Structure 1
Amino acid sequence: MSAEDEVVSLKRDVIAALVPSGQRVELPEGTEARITQALGGSFTVIIQGHMFRIEGSDADCLGKDPPALPEVNEDASDEDVQKAIYEQMGTVYDPEIPVDIVELGLIYRCELSRREDNQVDVAIDMTLTAPGCGMGDFLVNDVRSKVQALPVVGDVTVNLVFDPPWRQDMMSESAQLAVGFF
C-alpha cells in the first residue's frame, strides 16, 4: 500500500482544514484517517466521510516525516533565491487537485527586494481556479508560510488577485495531462 490510500491512526491531536471550506477543525488522537493525497509535504485525509488537509509541519501526527526545505542562504543570488521560492510554492497543492499551484498557473507575480541586512522581502500575486474557493485563504497562508520558512526570506506579502481571471490554458502542459485535459 502506498502513502496514498493508507489508513493511519492519528498519533496526537492536530488542527486540520476541512475541505473545501477551509474551516479549522481539531482532530483527536486515535482517530482513523485514510490518506488520499500526500503531495508537497501536506496530506489530504478522509475521516468519517469528510475531507481534511493536514499541514506538512504536522506530518508526525500521521507517522510521517515533515518535508525538508530547499538549501538557500543570504549569500545566494537573487536567481537562486527565486528558484527556492518557486520550489517552495511548488509544494502548495489544492487538496482536491493533484497539481501544485505553480503548475496550475496560479502564481502571477513573484518579486524580490533585497534589504540592507541581505534578507529578501517577497511580494507574490496569486489567484485561484475559482473566485469562490473556500480554500483561498488557506492556500494564501500556505504560500506565505512555506516561502517565509526559507532562512533568507524576510517579509512575505501574498496578494490574492482575480485579474486576469484564471483559465485552464494557464496550466502547464504537464498539469493539463495530470488532470486529463489532453
Structure 2
Amino acid sequence: MMLSPELVKEMLRDVYDPELRLNVVDLGLVYDIACTPEGEVDVLMTLTSPGCPVGDEIARQVHEALSGFPGVRRVGVRFTFDPPWTPERMSEELRAELGLD
C-alpha cells in the first residue's frame, strides 16, 4: 500500500489525547500531513492549549503509530499554535457525540 496523507490520517485515528481520551484526528489536532516517496512523513499538529502537558506523549504515540508502517523511514512531528485549536476544529461526528452542535 502506498503511503499517502489520507492513509497517515487514518493511522493517526489510533492516537489518543491521554487527558481527553479522544483521537487526535477527530479532535481536529492534525493540521497537515506531508509524505515523500522516500518514506518520510511530517505531521503538523496542535494541542488543545499551549500549556497542554501531554504534547510529548502525543508525539511519542504519533511516532509509534507511523514508524511501524512498511516503508516509513522517518517521522517528524511539529506542534504549532497558529491557528489556535478551538472546539470548532472537531469532526462533526465528535461534536454531535459530545453535544456541542
TM-score (norm 1): 0.52
Which runs of 5 or more structure 2 residues have no equivalent in the other structure?
Answer: none
Equivalences, count: 101
Larger Rg over CA atoms: 1
Matches within 5 A, 1:103-182: 103-115=26-38, 120-182=39-101
Deviations 1:15-69 (A, max 9, x none): xxxxxxxxxxxxxxxxxxxxxxxxxxxxxxxxxxxxxxxxxxxxxxxxxxxxxxx
**Aligned-partner residue type, residue 83 of structure 2:** P
1:77 matches 2:2: yes
Partner of 1:89: 12
Relative to the length of structure 2, the TM-score reads 0.89
Cα distance in 2 for residues equivalent to 1:177 and 1:146: 27
Residues 99 and 178 in structure 1, CA contact (< 8 A), matched pair in contact too: no
* Percent of pairs with identical residues: 35
More strand by percentage: 1
CA contact (8 A) 1:98 1:178 kept: no
Higher relative contact order (CA closer than 8 Å, sequence separation 6+): 2
**1:136 Cα deviation after fit:** 1.0
RMSD value, Cα: 1.5
More helix per residue? 2
Task: Could you tell me which runs of 5 or more consecutive residues in structure 1 were left unpaired when the two chains were aligned.
Answer: 1-75
